[in-house]
Amino acid sequence: MHLFTLTAVEAAQALQRREISSVQLVRDIYDRIDNVEPQVRGFISLLSREEALAAAENVDRMLKQGVSLSPLAGIPMALKDNICTNGIPTTCASLILKGYRPPYDAHVTTALREAGAILIGKSNMDEFAMGSSTENSAYHLTCNPWDLQRVPGGSSGGSAALVAAGEVFFALGSDTGGSIRQPASFCGVVGLKPTYGLVSRYGLIAFASSLDQIGPLTRDVQDCAYVLEIIAGHDPRDSTSVSREKERYTAYLGKEIKGQRVALPVECFGEGLEKEIKELVMGALAKCTEVGVSVYEASAPSTAYALPAYYLVAPAEASSNLARYDGIQYGLSIRSGSNLLDLYYATRSKGFGAEVKRRIMLGTYALSSGYYDAYYLKALKMRTLIRQEFESIFKDHDFIVTPTSPTVAFKIGEQKDDPLTMYLNDIYTITANLCGFPAISIPCGFVEGMPVGLQVIGRPFDEGRMLQFCYVLESLLGLKGRLAEMKLKEE
């Protein structure tokens, strides 16, 4: 048996029982990477086998000495390339940060390191997390392991593809408008965007500060709960990190979900949604009713404005967050010109890709004097309105369920030159970011061999009960921990 087929928790349990070693896990993972990575290309940078083995040996030694380690000690994983790793290149898949090595670790990097998880590499993404297909990476494409002709989704496409292809046991992504959940849906894995403020953003290279959250991409719901337990919690270095007691998410798993109430917003099941996807989501919910869950129709009419509001707020914040890449202190610097403006123009023209430039321009425009009230301020008001509608649904429902994405993974290149169609990928996911609510995507079936995701949105900080719900649903659907069946060269 190949070890890479195990879930993170299965591998961890075998490790704790000393049936296998972390070194074996790492070796098996690197063999798998050698086999499939040339086709998937989910990594943007990969640590050397020796480095990872050294870390694994360390964990094995501690386990042998009887040191009590976290449940995920010794488990190989990947971090999205916008999460800072001390001394290891962190590029946001942008030329402007090519070769940039941060002098410090992100909060989540430290948390996972301290938990003993083994960093294997940094995963590919859309440049600065702007995109829904990972085609906006300045370095290379990543292919969907279920069909190499298709995109893995984005922007955390590398993370999702690596998990689905068995190249790591889990990965972290970031989600600003659906960037964890949509690729999770496209690649048939579990992806969670936590409540805004649950996971520290310290060391996450900002796209849109008021929307960004880090979250896990995993093989199943149980793995998701374990990873979340490690990365969640108050961090005084992030002023938007919420101070509350640490929760044991794993303790929710296995409890029954009888009596829970689910709302289906009609706005998310109408035009633009593929019929087969709708049927899969409804079918999944039908199974829930068999275990005592009630399903209700609901309405959140303002969600019609979610996409426009998002495409004002996110680019506005991005235009400011990305202004620091000016060629002065670090990163790409083109100094051929004769003055300061030349340096700015040359560096930023060469360093940023088309989509990033488009959003910087959108955001700069939206914040300009004379337009601020009409665009940015209005978008903030829409945000409040949408949040109020969701809060009112949550008054008498536990969860909101929608499809994660209106389509399955599309073909590489299919939407590349059509930004507006590309933006529609996020139609069901962005509301959770605008409201700051937690949302998770889990696999609910296949359409023409491609995975389909179902999204569960919860009340703020209700991740525990969401995971409880999804854990049951996952077992009802019988889709737990499936890896992509890849045609390999040598296997």
Instruction: Tell me whether residue 18 or residue 324 sits nearer to another protein (CB atom).
Output: 324
Binders of another protein in range 238-257 (CB under 8 A): 238-240
86 token code pair: 């001390």
Which residue among 179, 200, 302, 319 is the active-site one?
Answer: 179
CB-based burial label for 490 (10 Å; 0-12, 13-18, 19+) = exposed
Instruction: Tell me whether residue 65 or residue 329 sits nearer to another protein (CB atom).
Output: 329
Nearest Cα to 424, choosing from 306, 339, 315, 320? 306
3-state secondary structure of 144: strand
**Single residue of 65, 243, 336, 369 touching another protein by CB under 8 A:** 369
CB-based burial label for 442 (10 Å; 0-12, 13-18, 19+) = buried
**Single residue of 249, 376, 390, 399 touching another protein by CB under 8 A:** 376
Torsion of CA 281, 282, 288, 293, to 10 degrees: 120
Q: Smallest distance from the beta carbon of 151 to another protein, in angstroms?
A: 26
Q: Smallest distance from the beta carbon of 464 to another protein, in angstroms?
A: 25
Pairing assessment for the beta strands 170-175 and 213-218 based on DSSP bridges: antiparallel
Nearest Cα to 125, choosing from 164, 151, 96? 151
C-alpha span between 488 and 243 (Å, rounded): 47
Q: Is 167:42 a contact under the CB 8 Å cutoff?
A: yes
Instruction: Tell me whether residue 172 or residue 473 sits nearer to another protein (CB atom).
Output: 172
Binders of another protein in range 313-342 (CB under 8 A): 316-317, 319-320, 323-324, 326, 328-330, 340
Instruction: Tell me whether residue 266 or residue 340 sits nearer to another protein (CB atom).
Output: 340
Helix (H) or strand (E) holding 217: strand 213-218
Binders of another protein in range 201-240 (CB under 8 A): 201-206, 208-210, 236-240
Q: Smallest distance from the beta carbon of 463 to another protein, in angstroms?
A: 22
Instruction: Tell me whether residue 141 or residue 314 sits nearer to another protein (CB atom).
Output: 314
Residues in contact with another protein, counted by CB under 8 A, come to a total of 43
Q: Smallest distance from the beta carbon of 130 to another protein, in angstroms?
A: 15
Is residue 80 flagged as an active site residue? Answer: yes
Nearest Cα to 25, choosing from 73, 65, 71? 73
Per DSSP, helices labelled H in 293-449 are 306-321, 340-351, 354-367, 378-395, 419-423, 430-435
Q: Smallest distance from the beta carbon of 240 to another protein, in angstroms?
A: 7
Binders of another protein in range 74-113 (CB under 8 A): 82-84, 90, 92, 97, 100, 102-104, 106
C-alpha span between 318 and 331 (Å, rounded): 18
Instruction: Tell me whether residue 90 or residue 133 sits nearer to another protein (CB atom).
Output: 90
Q: Smallest distance from the beta carbon of 373 to another protein, in angstroms?
A: 11
- Three state DSSP letters for 201-253: CCCECCCCCCCCEEEEEECCHHHHHHHHHHHECCCCCCCCCCCCCCCCHHHHC
Q: Does 381 bind another protein (CB under 8 A)?
A: no
Q: Is 320:363 a contact under the CB 8 Å cutoff?
A: yes
Binders of another protein in range 121-180 (CB under 8 A): none
Q: Smallest distance from the beta carbon of 51 to another protein, in angstroms?
A: 22
Is residue 155 flagged as an active site residue? Answer: yes
Instruction: Tell me whether residue 68 or residue 338 sits nearer to another protein (CB atom).
Output: 338
Nearest Cα to 414, choosing from 423, 424, 403, 422? 422
**Single residue of 367, 424, 447, 476 touching another protein by CB under 8 A:** 367
Q: Smallest distance from the beta carbon of 438 to another protein, in angstroms?
A: 19
**Which range in 282-290, 311-319, 429-437, 455-463 contacts another protein by CB under 8 A?**
311-319
Instruction: Tell me whether residue 315 or residue 406 sits nearer to another protein (CB atom).
Output: 315
Q: Is 453:404 a contact under the CB 8 Å cutoff?
A: yes
Binders of another protein in range 8-67 (CB under 8 A): none
Pairing assessment for the beta strands 76-80 and 170-175 based on DSSP bridges: parallel
Q: Is 68:32 a contact under the CB 8 Å cutoff?
A: no
Binders of another protein in range 341-360 (CB under 8 A): 344
Is residue 411 flagged as an active site residue? Answer: no
Angle at alpha carbon of residue 217, lines to 42 and 70, rounded to 5°: 115
Which residue among 21, 94, 137, 155 is the active-site one?
Answer: 155
Which residue among 22, 80, 193, 241 is the active-site one?
Answer: 80
Q: Is 163:201 a contact under the CB 8 Å cutoff?
A: no
Residues linked to residue 339 through DSSP beta bridges, in sequence order: none
Binders of another protein in range 446-465 (CB under 8 A): none
Instruction: Tell me whether residue 206 or residue 230 sits nearer to another protein (CB atom).
Output: 206
Q: Where are the beta strands (DSSP E) in 96-169?
A: 118-123
112 token code pair: 């996972």
Q: Which residues bind another protein (CB under 8 A)?
A: 82-84, 90, 92, 97, 100, 102-104, 106, 201-206, 208-210, 236-240, 316-317, 319-320, 323-324, 326, 328-330, 340, 344, 364, 367-369, 372, 376
| Catalytic machinery residues | 80, 155, 179
